[in-house]
Copies of this chain bind each other. A is one copy, B any other.
């Protein structure tokens, strides 16, 4: 496995692989890898000939009051996980190599970026779409792998890829969970033991939503309220949103109709740690 910080050399290595007729898979990450990320690299390994993972804690997707400076950096462990999962190349750029001092170009998905996560984290998705465009130009993948955990993110990236004709197929991979259902996240390590126990209620709320939807016991807005009530019953969780939305537009779902699918989405702060999770409601 090759570890390469240079954008130009990464591009050259991948061009070379492409020239040899290899199918390129890319897994963009911010490092602090966990089994969720590993599942993406493994999926890329199974479907592609040449697998590139990228590790870059992208400053432009963090708000001024967010955790950029204390975001976990665990490069050695990350590289070991990439190696074990079968990556051929890991791209590990420095910030100065990714952003020129006079850089001023942004890629913006104007509507999907403004709701839910976008409403709570202004500018976040501009940072995501801009850096992912850059990573796609550098790594020129045939397929790119994202986790369903960041549901809105994968939707926005799909929209961007379509709108900009970027020649990549976006693959969304299932959420990997702890044994009690907590979605794996690099931020889980911030949780105290008490908060860690409370955090498991997020998945309980999503499962409640699924049960209510499956049994047609409640309209989408009612289900959203039931999720919120479940989370607030913990006494300590600050719910930022709990919604049942259209999985394509993210607009709140109005009614269940034959063939309707939805996605239950939650963002909540547990202690000082902000967690998100979601569950597709498809029957």
Contacts and interface: CB of A to CB of B under 8 A. Distances in A.
Interface of A: 7, 11, 100, 103-112, 129-130, 133-134, 137-138, 140, 159-160, 162-167
A174 to B, nearest CB: 26
Contacts of A129: 105
A109 B104 CA distance: 6
Given A100-B163, A130-B164, A137-B167, 10 more contacts: A100-B162, A103-B163, A104-B109, A104-B112, A105-B107, A105-B164, A107-B108, A107-B164, A134-B165, A140-B167
A163 B110 contact: no
A105 B248 CA distance: 15
A242 B108 CA distance: 32
Contacts of A164: 105, 107, 130, 133-134, 137
A94 to B, nearest CB: 14
- Which 4 interchain pairs have the tightest Cβ spacing? A105-B163, A137-B165, A103-B163, A104-B110
Contacts of A160: 105
Contacts of A138: 165
State how many copies of this chain the complex holds.
2
Nearest to A166: B137
A108 B113 CA distance: 15
Given A137-B167, A165-B138, A106 B108 contact: yes
Nearest to A109: B105
Contact of A105 (B11, B100, B159): B159
A11 B107 contact: no
A111 B104 CA distance: 7
19 contacts: A11-B167, A100-B163, A103-B163, A104-B110, A104-B159, A104-B163, A105-B108, A105-B109, A105-B129, A105-B159, A105-B160, A105-B164, A106-B110, A107-B164, A133-B164, A134-B163, A137-B164, A137-B166, A137-B167
Q: Pick from A11, A110, A137 the residue with the most CB of B within 10 Å.
A: A137
B108 A165 contact: no
Contact of A110 (B7, B105, B109, B140): B105
